[in-house]
Structure 1
Amino acid sequence: MNSYIASIPSSKRYNNSYYILKDIRLKLGSGTGSLGKYRYYLLIEGPSLATDDDRILEMKQEGSSAVASAVPGLLSTSVYGNQVGARVTITTKAGSTHY
């Protein structure tokens, strides 16, 4: 969780108590892009200690890029700090107009 929280831009990050992990469960039946990967639902505290404003995050294990496997050297891993999760985050942000 600490790495995840640190990855959120400070302008969009809540205080640390918001991210208190309350429960975690393995997600079953993921789609074709997730076959063989672990996915989890994480229940976090949210804005207050009340249970009616808790939040659910979904986290997924990431592997190497399909492009990197098909065309080695096309995208240097240094572009995303040699961290596969960062690659996915950068790609998601690039494809989103509302981030």
Structure 2
Amino acid sequence: MSIYKRICCTVVVCAIAATFSSCANSTDTGENTSGGVITIWAYDNYSAAAEKAVEIYKKDNPNCEYTFDVVNFGQDELVEKLKIALASDSVDLLPDLFYDEDYNFS
């Protein structure tokens, strides 16, 4: 694996783990803590990074009531699904988290 991909995977794992911190802090903010599903869209090798982030988060936060659904797409399919969701102006079609390179959104 190239150094660029290693750095990207590390950044993805850190970003996803940081996002999951809302689960641990939900009692402090008065948010619903009854659980739910956090959906993550990722492509290719980045879905493995997302799954690793979920694994690390669950290990560090065993009382978290959320479940995590990592959905693996091909990059073109992921970009197309995001574009459709954004064009429809419906947040219900979007995942809670996704990973893609920013050059696809120019």
TM-score, structure 2 normalization: 0.27
Q: Which has the bigger relative contact order, CA under 8 A and spacing at least 6?
A: 2
Looking at secondary structure, tell me which structure has more helix per residue. Answer: 2
Q: Which of 1 and 2 has greater Rg?
A: 1
